[in-house]
Amino acid sequence: MDPDRPLPDPAPPGGPGSALGRLGGRLLRADARIALPCVIAVHLGLTLFTHAVTLRGFPNSGDEYAYLLSARIFAEGRLSVPSPDPREFFDVVHVLNDGKFYGKYPPGWPLLLAAGVLLGAPFAVNAVLGALTLAVMYGIARRNFSREVANLSLYLTLGNPYLVFTSAYYFSHPACLFFVSVFLYFYLEALEPSVRGTPYVMMGLAAGGAFLTRPYTAVVILSPLAVYRVYRAIRTGGFRLLVPRLALAGLPFLALLGLFLLYNHAQTGSALVQPFSRYDPNDRLGPSATSESWTWAFRTNVVRRLLRLGAWLPFSVFFLLPYFFQPGNRRNPKCGVLVGVFAALLAGYSVYLFDARNEYGPRYLYESTVALLLVAACVIREFGKGGALIVAGVLALNAWMFQEVSRLHAAQVRDRMRVYDLVRERGVDQAIVFMTTGSGSMPSYDLTRNGIHFDGGVLYVKDLGRRNSELLAVYPGRKAYCYVDHDRGRPPELVPYFVERPRGPR
């Protein structure tokens, strides 16, 4: 594809001179000073609205809460806090509670999130990273393709629920996508043999940031790109020149890798054992005692995930088909790199035999979003006037999906927060709430959320039956309740513990 080839105004069949066609042409050629800030403003507005109104600021999965908990610990200058006593009552999903209390995940994302904690706005960190990622994506398109491709890639994000919902909360994926996008920006620049110095240093920093945030994702995406860069250098006879440049990239990467290993050692006693593995040794690649089957993996991790991606990021998967039939795009090695990012991520997570459960779209493919949007923009550009209709279709699907997803997740959050809402409505304070059941679709062990000091006005703890008296002895003077979320439409209950204690945890 020739990035400097003029693109016809994307007018509909009514004629190239129509008002819509002229408007489409102006939008495609809009200056970065107009297009980029406008799209970013829309994205930020929808992200903050979704966080505050649709999701009510609630960490809607155990992953998110574990990240936020680690960020609060880091913000106090610590790696962990002492486990409460008796600690079994305070077990919460994805958090180690073995004498030390801390999240199981790598330190990269909690370190970034800790800055938001210190500023009193942790929810804003992902929102800002999402906006910065759009700016990096625009820069990739302008440097390597064209203004039209840059603007098209931006417009495809308008109102997209995949980007908005994932940026609205505390998952690590937006941070990893940002680092991967920065890496791609300098990687594509470094494909030119004459480039040296700063781009390689920035590649190393970005690769290290991605690894410190989501190690497996970073390895899956970046390893094939490194191999491809070496292959190109060997083919063109420039391998000797590449070696010192790769050393420049390796130094910052190794520094961040060292930080990762030091964190592991401090938490688990071994640089090679992550807290993630200490929490659940069976949560790993390939078959394990608690994993699904290979048949399940193909059906769920490949087929279903591709179908869901095509809905959450409309037509994104289907744009890969015309890519292979467009000579200009197919012969462009930079387009091939983008397709490779998606293919590597899809393949890498197809062998992870666990259900992601709480997702805003197929989140294990999220780090390929920028690559897919850029490929889609390159493909749409080749359709000329018909591209306007394709973009209109994508935006219509974005709007419909956003409305549907907002409705579904608002209802889910409302159900899961019933226990907290009921406690607040009753004015309960200086109390202990035994989670006899879960709330909505969230199990009880995902709702024992008590921060890092365990001194809140209300403590939410596991109901351990006869052992409950042990906890009450440690916290004398607090009232005790059991929370029961009934099935079949009956309202939930907050029952005084010694008056009418329900039975049977759920």
CB count in 10 Å sphere of residue 23: 14
Token reading at 358: 């709480």
Distance CA 69, CA 75 (A): 10
Q: How far apart are CA 344 and CA 243, in angstroms?
A: 24
Tokens of 261: 């290993």
The H or E element spanning position 51 is none
Beta-strand pair 100-103/458-462:
unpaired
Question: Does residue 139 sit within a domain?
Answer: no
| Domain-located, residue 432 | yes
HSE-CB of 238 using CA atoms within 13 angstroms: 17
Tokens of 179: 């680092």
The pLDDT of residue 11 is 40
Angle at 185 between CA 154 and CA 187, to 5 degrees: 145
**Spatial contact of 319 and 387, defined as CB atoms under 8 Å apart:** no
Phi and psi angles of residue 187, each rounded to the nearest 5 degrees, phi first: -65, -45
| Three-state DSSP state, 285 | coil
Q: What pLDDT does residue 488 have?
A: 66
Cβ neighbours of residue 273 under 8 Å, at least 6 residues apart?
A: 264
What is the pLDDT at residue 19?
A: 47
Give me the number of domains the chain comprises. 1
Cβ within 8 Å of residue 6, ≥6 positions away:
none
Residue 440 in any domain: the answer is yes
Asked if the structure places residue 114 within a domain, the reply is no
Residue 403 CA: distances (Å) to CA of 365, 400, 407, 416, 466? 22, 5, 6, 20, 47
Q: Are 461 and 89 in contact (CB under 8 A)?
A: yes
Integer Cα distance of 473 and 136 in angstroms: 56
Q: How far is CA 74 from CA 52, 107, 179, 194, in A?
A: 24, 9, 21, 42
Range of the domain at 455: 418-496
477: in domain: yes
Burial class (CB in 10 A: 0-12, 13-18, 19+), 494: middle
Whether 135 and 31 have beta carbons less than 8 Å apart is answered as no
Query: Residue 434: inside a domain, yes or no?
Result: yes
Angle at 211 between CA 247 and CA 143, to 5 degrees: 65
Task: Kindly state whether residue 449 falls inside one of the protein's structural domains.
Answer: yes
What pLDDT tens digit does each residue of the chain (506 aa) get?
444 444 443 444 334 445 445 555 666 766 767 889 999 999 999 999 999 999 999 999 999 999 999 999 999 999 999 999 999 999 999 999 999 999 999 999 999 999 999 999 999 999 999 999 999 999 999 999 999 999 999 999 999 999 999 999 999 999 999 999 999 999 999 988 777 789 999 999 999 999 999 999 999 999 999 999 999 888 888 888 889 999 999 999 999 999 999 999 999 999 999 999 999 999 999 999 989 999 999 999 999 999 999 999 998 888 999 998 899 888 999 999 999 999 999 999 999 998 887 788 899 999 999 999 999 999 999 988 788 889 999 999 999 999 999 999 999 999 999 999 999 999 999 999 999 999 999 999 999 999 999 999 999 999 999 999 999 999 999 999 999 998 767 899 999 997 444 555 44
CA 349 to chain centre: 14
CB atoms within 10 A of CB 15: 10
Interstrand relation of 493-496 and 479-484 (parallel, antiparallel or unpaired):
antiparallel
Which residue from 236, 228, 149, 147 is spatially nearest to 184, judged by alpha carbons?
228
Which residues have CB under 8 Å from 493's CB, separation 6+? 483, 484, 486, 502
User: What type of residue is 243?
Assistant: V
Q: What pLDDT is stored for residue 26 in this prediction?
A: 66
Question: Which H or E run contains 100?
Answer: strand 100-103
- Assess if residue 423 is contained within a domain: yes
Cα 58 to Cα 169: distance, rounded to the nearest angstrom: 8
pTM of the shown model: 0.92
